Amino acid sequence: MHRCAGEPDDACAVRALPHGRRLRGRDRAELEEYIRPTGFYRNKATSLLGLGAALVERHDGEVPNKLDQLVKLPGVGRKTANVVLGEAFGLPGITVDTHFGRLVRRWGWTAEEDPVKVEFAVGDLFPRKDWTMLSQRVIWHGRRICHARKPACGACPLARDCPAFGEGPTDFDEAAALVKGDEREHLLALVSSS
Ligand code: SF4
């Protein structure tokens, strides 16, 4: 069974939502087990079942591929809608979560705090075709290396080009201890060999 290991929560939810009709009929216990790795799985199961019912009632069981329709579904905000458009339909979207917002402000791409304004400001800087991949890369960089309080600058592959280099420890060993995730060893090998 797909366990969502190593995937963003939203991408995992996309995979768990192949079809509204199927979701509505899904046994609650099975659904909870399916999404347990994402955390808060009981609340999420309630939301997903409500979402499945809304998909059946409003969209004949299909997930719509329009932002304005997606954001009217229960529990679906603009961030999730953009993930769905990008991951499920291949339609470019910028996903502004806490990591994305923090990093693009840290890099000086925008000073905006409001997620929608961040989305539009960053969208002006990159070709539309790159939006989905850009979002994924920035979010994963924030999760693994460029943390909020102590970014791992000394073990960061972007260090040479980053205007915020030095906000975190610049010593390699100290910074390496801050790097997180399944790809940790691979990332550290990349940096130490460059
Ligand atoms: S050098 Fe530091 S601030 Fe810049 S991206 Fe890397 S971890 Fe973040």
pLDDT tens, position by position, 42-66? 998 888 889 988 999 999 989 999 9
* Same domain, yes or no: 129 and 69: no
Nearest CA owner, ligand 1 atom 8:
146
Cα dihedral 74→46→2→91 (10° resolution):
0
* Same domain, yes or no: 138 and 183: yes
Distance between CA atoms of residues 17 and 79, nearest Å: 16
Average pLDDT over residues 67-88: 93
pLDDT tens, position by position, 142-192? 999 999 999 999 999 999 999 999 999 999 999 999 999 988 999 999 898
**Into how many domains does the chain fold?**
2
Residues with a catalytic annotation lie at: 79, 97
Instruction: List the domain range (segments joined by +) for residue 66.
Output: 9-89
Given 89, 121, 146, the domain boundary residue is 89
* Same domain, yes or no: 110 and 145: yes
* Same domain, yes or no: 78 and 24: yes
pLDDT grade for 104, boundaries at 50, 70 and 90: very high
Q: By CB neighbour count within 10 A (0-12 exposed, 13-18 middle, 19+ buried), where does 161 fall?
A: exposed
Nearest CA owner, ligand 1 atom 2:
153
- Centre of ligand 1 to C-alpha 11, Å, is 25
HSE toward the beta carbon, residue 131, CA cutoff 13 A: 24
* Same domain, yes or no: 118 and 56: no
Cα distances (angstroms) measured from residue 148 to each of 93, 100, 178: 24, 11, 11
Name residues contacting ligand 1 (CB within 6 A): 106, 145-146, 151-153, 156, 158-159, 162, 164-165, 167-168
Residue 42's domain is classified under what CATH number?
1.10.340.30
Atom of ligand 1 nearest to the CA of 158: 6
For the chain, the first-to-last Cα distance in angstroms comes to 38
- Centre of ligand 1 to C-alpha 64, Å, is 37
Whether residue 147 lies inside any domain: the answer is: yes
* Same domain, yes or no: 108 and 188: yes
Q: By CB neighbour count within 10 A (0-12 exposed, 13-18 middle, 19+ buried), where does 86 fall?
A: buried
Given 55, 89, 123, the domain boundary residue is 89
Given 38, 71, 89, the domain boundary residue is 89
